[in-house]
Each structure stands twice: as C-alpha cells, then as structure tokens.
Structure 1
C-alpha cells in the first residue's frame, strides 16, 4: 500500500484528486459504521459469544486501525506532500499498521474463510471445551498475532541502520529490506500476502458452492438461518478481498514469472490503493449479515426523528 499520488505520466492529471476524494468520502462514511457494528457485537451477548463473530471482532479492530491511522496519514501525505508530525516513533507505528496489522487482517480473513467450513458443515468438531481450544482459539490467536509480532520485530528490534524521510510516504522504506536475506523477501511476498489471498478466494468460493449444493440437507439437519447468515457474512467480506486484492496478486505473480514490466503502468496509480477498499467496505458487509442490526439501524433513525418533533405548548384554563 502507499500514496495515491503518482509521478507516472501515463495517468490522467485528474486521477489523483478523484482517488483522494473517493477515499476521504469512503473513510468518513465507514468510521461511524465501525462504531455502530462494533458496539452491537461487543455489547450484545448472543453476538459476542457466537464463534463466527470472534474473528470478525478482531478483523474490525485491525481494519479500523488501518482506516483511522494508516489511511489518514496517507491521505494527509498526499494533501500536503510530506509527513506531518514527523518523528521516528510515528514512522515506526505507521509502518507497523501499514504492514503488520494489514497482513494480520489478511491472515484473519483466510482463517475465517476456512473456519466457516467447520462451523457450517462440521459443527460437531467444536462442541467440547478442548475442541474449542484446539480448533477455534489457538488458530485464531496464531493468525491474529503472527504478522503483527513479525513486523514488530522487523521494525522495532531488527538490527539495521534506520533512516526516516518526511518527504516520503511511510517515511521511506523499512530498513530491514537492505540487510535481511533474500529468501525472507520471497517468503514475505508469497506466504504473507499472495498465498493467503488465493486461499481466501478458494475457501470462500468453495464454501458458497458447498452451501448451495447442500442447502436442502442443511435445512433439515441444522439451524438454517444461522448457517445462511454465516455464509452470507463471509461471502460479503471476502468478496471485497477478491475484487480489490486479487488484481494486485495476479500482477505480482505474472511479474514473478519473468515479466517484470507487466502491469507496472497501473499497479501504483490504480491497483495498489485499492487494497484500502476492503477496510472501508468491511463494516457494511458485516452490518448486512448480523441479525437484528438492520432493525436497530432503522430504530436509531426513527428515534432521532422523534426527538426532533416539537411538542406544542398548551395552557390550561
């Protein structure tokens, strides 16, 4: 991810301003939805205890950090042309959120797309406390913390000569890139991003097809509405990764196969910035799938409308 502006000459002069405006608009609309959805999940006992919402809670938190911290700094950089409130500490945390937290969200989405198969079709695997611990909580903790802890080490603890530049997005490239072994760079590109995105696509599509094929059996054997909502929720969220991250992965794979110039004229001005879109769409996709939220949303607006009603003043004789 990175700046929305570009020095390339093959893009329309108006595109950076259009892209900037669209992301500001999307950010402003998504933040209240994050609060609304997060409040419902955390304070509604049934929603908070539902196994399929545990990964969604962490996903919402990670992507909220991306929207409020990473995207805000990136947009401000594009607006003024330098990093405001420049300091090494700010730069390190910006890099951590941009990479470690963002990759953490990708891994969580990959786990969610796989775990839904268990929760929908093999719910007997998570009935006992020991099964819950081994199959649900341990993978959830691992996929939530792997990337943030890895990048915390690389950014804050890895021995390298740090150099921060207020005129560059993310305050310049992370210093470990200059000295870390090349095998890790290959590992990071494929294991930390490319493979999880491909798995999200495969697991999500297979879940949807499997759900459609076994629809009649599910209606007879388990709670139909619960399975339907879990499948809809995952489909809506994973579709955003499919649409806005898969093009980046495809270009990367083609370039890795010996065509380094493939997509180079569109990846920075167009494709790279799209990786912010899933974080903007996530709360709305969650909103549409969670039970009772749409009614609460309508009640909220009706309540506000009633609050604005003027009660006529009457006098008594």
Structure 2
C-alpha cells in the first residue's frame, strides 16, 4: 500500500518557490493578490455591515452560515494571504515571532478548513430551508437542525487545530526562511492514518460534496420551481440558491485543480503536477477568499444598489414644487 508522504499530507503545501519560476511571475502574482485584497476588504466590511445592522437580515436563518463564512474568509484574506504573499516575495517570514508563526499556522489550517466545512453545511442546509422548512419551524427543531450543526461546522476544525498548534506537547522549531515558519510540530509524531483523515475529511471530501449538493439543489429547484412559484417564499428561495451557487462555484473552480493533484499524488504518483503545484496551483486556493464577498453581494440586489450609491455618491435631485416658489 502506498502511503502519503508526511510533508505533503495534512495539506502541507510546499510553497518553496521552484527555481524555474521567474521573479517576474512572483511579482505579478503579488500585485494581483494585493489588488484583490485592497478591493475585497471594503466589500467584506460593507456586506457584513448590511447583514449585521439590519435586524431582518441578521435574524434570517440562511444568513447565519454566510456570516461565519465571511468572518473566516476575511481572516484568511488579511492574515494568511498577506503573510504567504510577503513570504513569496521576500523569501522570509515578515515580522517573525513565535506568536505570529503559531497564529499563521492556526489561520492557515483551522480557519481555512473551517470555511470549507461551513460551505459544506451551507450546501446541505439550503436543502432544508428550501424544501424541508418544517424542520426549522419550531424553536426546538431550529436548535436541532440549524444552530447545533452551525456551531459544530464552525468550531470543529478551529478547535482541533487550536489544540494541535497551541496545546499539543511538542517542540516547534521556528524558521523565518520557511513558509509558515516550518511544519506543524505535531506532524512528527502523528500516526499515518491521521494524515489521510485530515486531508480527506477536512478538504477533499467537503469540496467534492459542496459541488454535489449544490448541483442537486439547483436541479431540484428547477424541477420544482412551478410549485415554489405558487408559494410566497419563491423569491427568497431563488436568492438563497443563487447565493449558494455563486459562493460554491468560487471554491469548486479554484480548489478542484489542487484536489485532483492531491488525489493523484496520494494514489502512488507523487511527481504528478509537481512542477505546477507551487506556486501556480497551490496559491489558487486563496482566490475564494477574495471572491466570496462579491458573490454574496451579487446575490442580493438591494445590497448592490446601496453599494453603487455609496461608491458614486449619487445625490438625489431636489424637486422644488410650484408652491415652494410662490411662498
């Protein structure tokens, strides 16, 4: 039986830049991600403000998982992506310190995996909110089928990696010339089954299931839209499905190439895709954190209109009535 190499398991992305990769490409990539961050951050803040400031949007069940996805992706954007691109450009860890290294590792694993877990729950919960609303009509059922799963998918990987990174008894050798200051120290003593469990349960399977559940949801919606049109929730259901479709596509498109390489390499072909894995393919997994707020924005027409007014400072014309002139 072929075993997965430890330096590749647990999604230990090898971000050591290949010598064949030109400095020009690294600079171009850094500039593109920097521009993505600059424009995405205000979009994050605006979308979060709109959802949290309005009581109806804040209390809507379908927005709860979206709030958590936005939070986790935002942390990944401003911490993990910033440190990764700075390292790629300078070949050293910026602001090197043990607490920074541990925080970087925690966000890169616990928070990033957490956003993928939340995407999986969102793709499942949409089926409940659209086609099985009876499961969330009472407070007891909402607790069982909404709040408890939301808490689990939100906290499972952050809790697991908080323990593995900050509490697990092992010696961490920090290196400012290595991505994320070096490998996680628990990897040296963890059993081989955990590596398979980690990458399959936390990454490969969830992304594939997001694609499956999202596709099934769209097909069910198209098949039953005539029945849903007769219901008062038609417009809300359509918005929820559009929202999930836009967000899930960002994960599927940019994570699927990496997943294909992961599956092939772990199947006994460790050299497959090695030359394009880093930095071309491995850095694509950071793109969803940039796209997510725009995907949510586009799924909410009112939000889009308010953002347009905010950006262009449109002023409403003052209409002077004849009575005002006479007075």
Separation of aligned partners in 1, 2:95 and 2:285: 25
Number of the residue aligned with 1:160: 170
Mapped pair 1:217 → 2:236: no
Instruction: Name whichever of 143-152 and 253-262 sits farther off.
Output: 253-262
Number of the residue aligned with 2:130: 120
8 Å Cα contact 1:3/1:78 also seen in 2? no
8 Å Cα contact 1:4/1:20 also seen in 2? no
Q: How far apart are 1:46 and its partner, in Å? A: 1.1
Separation of aligned partners in 2, 1:149 and 1:198: 23
**1:138/1:184 CA distance change after superposition, 3 Å:** same
Give per-residue Cα distances to partners, 1:259-282, cap 9 Å, x unaligned. Answer: 221111111121110000111000
Separation of aligned partners in 2, 1:271 and 1:237: 20
Separation of aligned partners in 1, 2:85 and 2:301: 34
Mapped pair 1:81 → 2:57: no
Separation of aligned partners in 1, 2:198 and 2:190: 11
SS in 1 for 2:37: helix
**1:130/1:138 CA distance change after superposition, 3 Å:** same
Number of the residue aligned with 2:56: 46
Long gaps (5+) in structure 2: 1-11, 317-327
Number of the residue aligned with 1:245: 255
SS in 2 for 1:60: helix
SS in 1 for 2:96: coil
Number of the residue aligned with 2:273: 263
Separation of aligned partners in 2, 1:265 and 1:252: 14
Give per-residue Cα distances to partners, 1:80-122, cap 9 Å, x unaligned. Answer: 2211221111100110001100000000000000100110111
Separation of aligned partners in 2, 1:89 and 1:265: 32
2:159 to 143, 149, 164: 149
Q: How far apart are 1:299 and its partner, in Å? A: 2.2
1:98 to 100, 108, 112: 108
Number of the residue aligned with 1:202: 212
Moved over 6 A (4+): none
Q: How far apart are 1:160 and its partner, in Å? A: 1.2
Separation of aligned partners in 1, 2:172 and 2:225: 56
SS in 2 for 1:260: coil
Number of the residue aligned with 2:323: none
Number of the residue aligned with 2:8: none
Separation of aligned partners in 1, 2:227 and 2:272: 46
Number of the residue aligned with 2:41: 31
Separation of aligned partners in 2, 1:295 and 1:305: 11
Q: How far apart are 1:298 and its partner, in Å? A: 2.3
Separation of aligned partners in 1, 2:62 and 2:48: 14
8 Å Cα contact 1:255/1:262 also seen in 2? yes
Long gaps (5+) in structure 1: 308-317
Give per-residue Cα distances to partners, 1:225-267, cap 9 Å, x unaligned. Answer: 1000000000000000110011111111112222221111111
Give per-residue Cα distances to partners, 1:133-157, cap 9 Å, x unaligned. Answer: 0000000000000000000000011
Mapped pair 1:175 → 2:185: yes
**1:181/1:2 CA distance change after superposition, 3 Å:** closer
Q: CA RMSD in A?
A: 1.7
TM-score, length-scaled by structure 1: 0.92
Q: How far apart are 1:12 and its partner, in Å? A: 5.1
1:6 to 17, 41, 44: 17
Separation of aligned partners in 1, 2:147 and 2:311: 37
Separation of aligned partners in 2, 1:237 and 1:299: 24
